[in-house]
Structure 1
Amino acid sequence: MSLIISFVPTSLGYTLFAIIVSGFVFILTRWSSSKPKGGLNLPPGPPGWPVVGNLFQFARSGKSFFEYAEELKQKYGGILTVRMGTRTMIILSDANLVHEALIKRGALFATRPAESPTRTIFSCDKFTVNAAKYGPVWRSLRRNMVQNMLSSTRLKEFGSLRQSSMDKLIERIKSEAREHKGLIWVLRNARFAAFCILLEMCFGIVMDEASIDKMDEIMKTVLMTVDPRIDDYLPILAPFFSKERKRALEVRREQVDYVVGVIERRRRAIQNPGSDKTASSFSYLDTLFDLTIEGRETTPSNEELVTLCSEFLNGGTDTTGTAIEWGIAQLIANPEIQSRLYDEIKSTVGDDRSVEEKDVDKMVYLQAFVKELLRKHPPTYFSLTHAVTETTTLGGYDIPAGVNVEVYLPGMSEDPRIWSNPKKFDPDRFMLGKENADITGITGVKMIPFGVGRRICPGLAMATVHVHLMLARMVQEFEWSAYPSGSEIDFAGKTEFTVVMKNPLRAKVKPRI
């Protein structure tokens, strides 16, 4: 359920102006990129320019950053260094090194690097589970989220909410299909279903569709606003981005104003039981009102409540939505898999009722399908950025405190040394003990779609419940096929908030009943 944002750039608009300014800085400085500061033995990587490092080499490559990283991995190996302006990135893609760093020496690699000024605006100076430095604030926030919201007992309490949300999703798909000759947009419907579940879990009240859309619009605007800009890597250019900073402050004000209104509605419902007929008995927000933070005398402010609620919503919406889109795409491209999955659902549930959460544990092929889905299509190409609490070594190289430690997920999940025929989508690899993977990474790192170690996504269990249940209901109710009929699915991806299909999937559905 992690908010999938790291310092890894997706694409950066390098204007001629920025290049000229950087060139001017280049002329005025004598800083050398060839000798690491303090004589550190950093991992190998492409030689960079003074000041800008490898920024313009990346820009000129015309590749996305994951393609650039993949190319560098082939040349420099499973641990390498890239300098993006003032930020040094050490990219790990070797499974053994990732296991050593994040599992065996997890506490040392468990903190976060400094944030950009724009992100600090939205994180209340890193007051979130995912952004907080390794220490008392992080421990307090994570413990509260896991114990009070994401434990197995608490998740079961929201079972009826998930079931009703699945019913609404199916009706929404049927309605859209009726209006558009059987065609539906997969991601849009899956996102909406996930977002509605998280909204009610977070605030404990039912919102009308207009309010839901408004909240979703605000959250997406926030994510777009914190997308890395060139001044995040070259702070000397910050004065030339004053309009962007002003816009970020405006977006933050809009976010706070709207979400505080919802927070106050929940507060009134608690103070006056029965006053809000839609109010549930419990929500994530309830755990935050009087939350005690180690080393602090005050409870979270309204702005901090907005930040924590936004993290909860953003963390599980796009990750779930994109997983469903990739999953349906694979079912369309592999009709034999779709048929086999439907047969398992029918044999488990029968013809007279809908799939329930208790059924999922009995569906071994569904579980194998979802595991293969997460291997082949992890929510992001990079896990959330790590940093070390003090300078250390890894793989014979120095890892300085303060640098970005980035974990490149396809480097492991598509490693032919780990997986047989890794390019093939094959759920059977997880059947009958052919291949196995502990996605928590404790017994060994092979695929880590939710991160790993002390900073593993706290919402892993909730996310997998949502994905299993949503896919099962969608396959139970509909037969999925390509549009236009007979066309091939384009599996090209692109990075937005998560890794989405480059060409959004519009599929044709046929009710099975």
Structure 2
Amino acid sequence: MELPSTLIFTTITLIVSAVIFSLTRPNSRLNLPPGPPGWPIVGNLFQVAGSGKPFFQYVRDLLPKYGPIITLKMGTRTMIILSQADLVHEALIEKGQVFATRPAENPTRVVFSCNKFTVNAALYGPVWRSLRRNMVQNALSSSKLRTFREVRVTAMDKLVDRLKAEAETAENGGAVCVLKNARFAVFCILLSMCFGVEMDEKTIEEIDEMMKMVLITLDPRLDDYLPLLRPFFSKKRKLAMEVRERQIAMLVPFIERRRAAINSPGSDPTAAEFSYLDTLFDLTVDGRKDPPTNPEIVTLCSEFLNGGTDTTATAVEWAIARFIETPAIQSRIYDEIKSVVGERKVDEKDIEKMPYLNAVVKELLRKHPPTYFSLTHSVTEPVKLGGYDIPTGTNVEIFIPGIGEDPKIWTDPERFDPDRFLTGGESADITGVSGLKMIPFGVGRRICPGLGMATVHVSLMIGRMVQEFEWRSWPENSKVDFSEKVEFTVVMKNTLRAMIIPRV
């Protein structure tokens, strides 16, 4: 007798649920932070997935009821979310060493990270220290960043030319897509910094599309939270492995091209004097005898590219949206540029002489941090936080807007007001060293190593874009929609198109 398919499904579900429950029963003696009651076995997983809301909005809605530290049970994972400055300070500064590691990853992510062989994914320990030290000292230090000044100048000129060309096409009617153009410009910069070889526009776009595919492939899946369901996701895993093979196949030729250029100086006339890739070929990693393999180098280069592209482009899109909403801000930046720079092109050396532009960038990062959750932390040992138990292996998430929008810290936090950092008398150190009021790049031991580079890129792009063009709403007299959505970063729900008027 053939059993109905619904009965088979129900039976399998009960068996799987029973096994999961036996593996994930919470320890009743733990004093976890409060949170919404979950369902048996799956915890809050289906409540989150079925809410119809982005995860950041689901969390935002929980804060008034449960407070600044919340527990969510997500299948086999326990997730604890922090949204208050003093709790984040306790975790990442006072107890920073305990909270400095990363949680276990699903098998797909492990493949793409070469078993957590990246600055962001590595467990807290000697491998992480080696990789981070190399990236910071040999690629992202102030002196190294200065060596790429001409790369940035060229990219800014190309950005201006692309914007003009797009606006002049008949079908666009003077309008341009802000995010797409900003993203291409910063990706060009990072490709040059990373590989040190010249690429044509078609190649750049192909690599960009491949990197986007990698990020899409790494989006969380149901089996990440319920591992026993992984047999049902075999096609997804197969697709992920194909993407990984394409990633390696696309990037290894550029790695070998750069290796050849180093071994035979002068053989490649387009080769730059220095690149991040140069530091990886013979990189000594604590606890390892051999230098990184090609797949590991692909992973490290991909981390470098992904970490600085969407975050910067997203910030620029939000900036232009704010300028359109409040033209007075745009006018003040332009007047400041004229007074400091005159008729020549604004340069990154000019940025430090522009207090209003710097205030705009800081307010931009407070109100529109590129991501609403910093990369997930985990603890190396059981620890107390805010009086609650944090067990080993817990996913600790930092909800960044909870700090940047806290009315106990900020005056009128919902308002976009760069003057708060000038005449308003408010201040904030985005590194968190002198006080924790906004953390767009994280804080503590795992703070984003590209912080300095990101602020240079955002400031320079905004400066050149405002110097070259007046930005207006499109269609004319329309209101900017500040609704959000999550892609790789938190972007505008409706991609911003804007009218540009070249400056006379």
Deviation at 1:38, TM superposition (A): 5.8
SS of residue matched to 1:268: helix
Q: How many angstroms apart in 2 are the aligned matches of 1:409 and 1:20? A: 40
Q: Deviations over 1:346-368 (max 9, x none)?
A: 11111x21101111011000000
The one of 382, 388, 400 equivalent to 1:397 is: 388
Q: 2:238 aligns with which of 246, 249, 253?
A: 246
* Pick aligned residue for 1:353 from 344, 348, 357: 344
Q: Equivalents in 1 of 2:168, 2:459: separation in Å? A: 26
Contact 1:34 1:47 survives alignment (8 Å): no
Task: Provide the residue aligned with 1:193 in structure 2.
Answer: 185
Which of 56, 73, 76 is 1:86 aligned to?
Answer: 76
Question: Match for residue 194 of structure 2?
Answer: 202
Residue-by-residue CA offset, 1:471-494 (whole Å, 9 max, x unaligned): 000000000000000000000010
Q: 1:27 to 1:273 in 2, by over 3 A?
A: closer
CA distance in 2, matches of 1:286, 1:34: 45
Residue number in structure 1 paired with 2:3: none
Q: Which amino acid aligns with 1:222?
A: V
1:261 is aligned, of 243, 253, 256, to 253
Tell me the residue number matched to 2:454. 463
> 1:366 and 2:366 equivalent?
no
Paired residue for 2:30?
40
- Alignment partners' CA distance in 2, 1:27 and 1:289: 47
Query: 1:126-275 maps to which residues of 2 (within 5 A)?
Result: 126-179=116-169, 180-275=172-267
Q: Structure 1 365/81 Cα, relative in aligned 2: closer, same or farther at 3 Å?
A: same
Give 1:19 deviation, angstroms.
9.2
Q: Which residue of 2 aligns with 1:6?
A: none
- Say whether the 8 Å CA contact 1:103–1:442 is kept in structure 2: no
Name stretches of at least 5 consecutive residues in structure 2 with no aligned partner: 1-5
Q: Does the C-alpha gap of structure 1 residues 56 and 30 become closer, same or farther in structure 2, counting only changes over 3 Å? A: closer
Contact 2:24 2:41 in 1 (8 A): no
Aligned mates of 2:237, 2:498 — CA distance in 1: 40
Residue 97 in 1 paired to residue 87 in 2? yes
Q: Does structure 1 conserve the Cα–Cα contact (< 8 Å) formed by 2:92 and 2:443? A: yes
Instruction: Name the SS for the 2:454 alignment partner.
Output: helix
Match of 1:74 in 2: 64
Equivalent of 1:412, from 395, 403, 408? Answer: 403
CA distance in 1 between partners of 2:387 and 2:18 (Å): 35
Partners in 1 of 2:457 and 2:269 — Cα distance? 26
**Cα distance, 1:81 vs structure 2:** 0.3
Distance (Å, rounded) in 2 between the aligned partners of 1:391 and 1:22? 35
CA distance 1:347–1:496, change in 2 (3 Å): same
Cα deviation, residue 28, structure 1? 3.5
Amino acid at match of 2:80: I
The alpha carbon displacement at 1:425 in A equals 0.5
How far did 1:24 drift? 2.4
Structure 1 range deviating more: 23-32 or 360-369 = 23-32
Tell me by how many angstroms 1:178 deviates: 1.1
Q: Call closer, same or farther: CA 1:35–1:117 in 2, change over 3 Å.
A: closer
Distance 2:499 2:8 in 1: 46
2:96 aligns with 106
Normalising by structure 1, report the TM-score: 0.94
* Change in 2 beyond 3 A, CA 1:161/1:17: farther
2:120 counterpart letter in structure 1? N
Letter in 2 for 1:40: L
**DSSP-derived class of the 2:500 partner:** strand
- With 116-125 and 19-28 compared, the bigger mean Cα shift is at 19-28
What is the root-mean-square deviation in Å for CA atoms of aligned residues?
1.8
Shift in Å at residue 143 of structure 1? 0.2
Label 1:35 to 1:302 Cα distance change in 2 as closer, same or farther (>3 A): closer
User: Counterparts of 1:98 and 1:207 in 2: how far apart (Å)?
Assistant: 42
1:60 is displaced (CA, Å) by: 2.5
Closer, same or farther in 2 for the Cα pair 1:345/1:40, shift >3 Å? Answer: same
- Taking the aligned partners of 2:294 and 2:439, their CA distance within structure 1 comes to 34
| Structure 1 residue aligned with 2:318 | 326
SS at match of 1:296: coil
The separation in 2 between residues aligned to 1:505 and 1:198, in whole angstroms, is: 23
2:47 corresponds to 1:57: yes
* Aligned mates of 1:457, 1:92 — CA distance in 2: 18
Q: How far is 1:432 from its partner?
A: 3.3
User: What is the total number of aligned residue pairs between the two structures?
Assistant: 497
d(CA) in 1 for partners of 2:471 and 2:105?
A: 43
